[in-house]
Structure 1
Amino acid sequence: MSRVIALFVMAAVAGCAATTPEAQPSPTVDPKVQQQRVEAAKADCMKRKGFTYTAFVWPEPTEDPEVVKGRSGDYALMKTYREKYGFGVFSMIVHPGMFGAKARSIGEDSPDPNHKVMQKLSEKQRMAYQDAAESCYGQAVKQVLGKEVKGVFDHYEKTMKAMEELRNRELNGDARLVELAAATAACLKDKGYRVDSAQPVAVAKRGRDEFGKEMSKFQKEMGGGKGMGKVMALEITPEQAKPLLDKEIKAALDDLECGRAFYAEYQPKSLALQTRVKGEYGVDVRE
Structure 2
Amino acid sequence: MTRALTTMPAAGLLLLLLSGCAAAGAQSAQPAPSGGPQDKRRLMEAMRTDCMERKGFKYVQNIPEPRKTSADEELRSAGDYQAMLKYREKYGFGRFASYVHPDDPEVRAGSTGELVSSPRVQADLRLQRSMSETQRAQWVAANDTCYSDAIKELTGRTVTGEQDLWRQMGEISRRLRSAEIDGDPELVRLARDYGDCLRGRGVRVTSLKPTEIEMSAQSHFEAGLGAVAQRKDGVKGGVYTPAFSAQEAAPYLAREVKAAIEDLECGKDFYAAHRPKDNEVSEKVRRELGVSGELL
Report if TM-score (shorter chain) is over 0.5. yes
User: Counterparts in 2 of 1:1-287, with a 5 A limit?
Assistant: 1-2=10-11, 4=13, 6=15, 32=38, 35=41, 38-39=44-45, 58-62=63-67, 65=70, 66-67=72-73, 69-96=75-102, 98-99=107-108, 103=115, 105=117, 108=119, 131-219=141-229, 223=232, 233-279=241-287, 280-283=290-293
Q: What's the CA shift for 1:39?
A: 4.9
Q: SS state of the match for residue 203, structure 1?
A: coil
Report the CA distance shift for 1:260/1:284 in structure 2 as closer, same or farther (over 3 A): farther
Q: How many angstroms apart in 1 are the aligned matches of 2:135 and 2:224?
A: 42
Q: Please tell me whether the aligned partners of residues 4 and 212 of structure 1 are also in contact (alpha carbons under 8 angstroms).
A: yes
SS for the counterpart of 2:108 is coil
How far apart in 2 are the matches of 1:262 and 1:109? Answer: 38
Deviation at residue 58 of structure 1 after TM alignment:
1.1
**SS state of the match for residue 166, structure 1?**
helix
Secondary structure, aligned partner of 2:211: helix
Per the alignment, do residues 140 and 55 of structure 1 end up closer, same or farther by CA in structure 2, a change over 3 Å counting?
farther
Distance 1:248 1:187 in 2: 18
Paired residue type of 1:71: S
**What amino acid is the match of 1:261?**
D
182-191 or 96-105, which deviates more: 96-105
Q: Is the 8 A contact 2:117 2:242 kept in 1?
A: no
SS in 1 for 2:263: helix
Please give the alpha-carbon distance, in whole angstroms, between the structure 2 residues aligned to 1:239 and 1:212: 19
Do the aligned residues in 2 keep the contact of 1:46 with 1:53 (CA within 8 Å)?
A: yes
Is the 2:199–2:205 Cα contact (8 Å) retained in structure 1?
Answer: yes
Q: TM-score, normalised by structure 1?
A: 0.68
Contact 1:72 1:268 in 2 (8 A): yes
In the aligned structure 1, how far is the partner of 2:20 from the partner of 2:83?
29
Aligned equivalents of 1:92 and 1:36: distance in 2? 27
- Using structure 2 for the length normalisation, give the TM-score: 0.66
CA RMSD of aligned residues (A): 4.3
Percent identity, please.
Answer: 29
Size of the aligned set, in residue pairs, is 256
Letter in 1 for 2:93: F
Q: Give SS of 2:191's match.
A: helix
Q: Secondary structure at the match of 2:254?
A: helix
Contact 2:41 2:63 in 1 (8 A): no
Quote how far apart the aligned CAs of 1:68 are: 5.0
Structure 2: stretches of 5+ with no match in the other structure: 1-9, 22-34
Q: Cα distance, 1:31 vs. partner?
A: 5.7
Cα distance change of structure 1 residues 246 and 52 upon mapping to structure 2, 3 Å threshold: closer
Q: Cα distance 1:164–1:285, how it changes in 2: closer, same or farther (>3 A)?
A: farther
- Bigger radius of gyration among the two: 1
Query: Structure 2 vs 1, CA of residues 166 and 210 (structure 1 numbering), >3 Å: closer, same or farther?
Result: farther
Seen in structure 2, the aligned counterparts of structure 1 residues 212 and 132 have a Cα distance that, compared at 3 Å, is: closer
Report the Cα distance in structure 1 between the residues aligned to 2:52 and 2:244, rounded to whole angstroms.
Answer: 40
